[in-house]
Amino acid sequence: MSPTPGLVRITPLGAPPVTARPSPDRVVSGDPVFTSWDIEDRDGIYAGIWQSTPGAWRVIYDEWEYCHILSGHSVLTAEDGTAQDLRAGDSIVIRPGFRGVWEVLETTRKDYVIRV
């Protein structure tokens, strides 16, 4: 199937993987490794696929993010202790100013769109 002008398919097949880890001062437990396939990066919009191995780290969001969990199991806990259990099929919006802990219990993969 040929590409359609103006459309970009969100799939890891067309993008090289990039690996990273959270900053050591943010790690709460484990040794999570992030892999991302960055599909779109333009006009303040970022989109792609992200994956993490088990572990937990503190998060501080300055941007807006929509994500859809493709596989795995994570728990996103806000500073006030409110926790969201995230599994395949779940979708969330994380707003600027969110602070908490992202804990990956089973390797988690999500697709995402970030607006800065």
> What is the per-residue pLDDT across 2-46, written as a single tens digit (0 to 9) for each?
567 777 777 776 688 999 999 999 999 999 999 999 999 999 999
Residue 6 belongs to a domain:
no
CA-nearest of 38, 35, 41 to 14 is 38
CA atoms within 13 A on the CB side of 80: 3
Domain count within the chain: 1
Distance CA 63, CA 32 (A): 22
In this prediction, residues 64-77 reach a mean pLDDT of: 98
Residue 2 belongs to a domain:
no
Distance CA 12, CA 111 (A): 10
Residue 71, Cβ neighbours under 10 Å: how many? 13
Distance CA 12, CA 107 (A): 16
Q: Does residue 75 or residue 7 have the better pLDDT? A: 75
What's the whole-model pTM score?
A: 0.89
In this prediction, residues 92-96 reach a mean pLDDT of: 98
Which pLDDT belongs to residue 2? Answer: 59
CATH code at position 69: 2.60.120.10
Q: Which domain holds residue 66?
A: 16-115
Beta strands in 1-116 (DSSP E): 18-20, 27-30, 34-42, 45-52, 55-60, 64-78, 83-87, 91-94, 99-115
Residue 11 belongs to a domain:
no
Residue 7 belongs to a domain:
no
Residue 3 belongs to a domain:
no
Which pLDDT belongs to residue 83? Answer: 98
Residue 4 belongs to a domain:
no
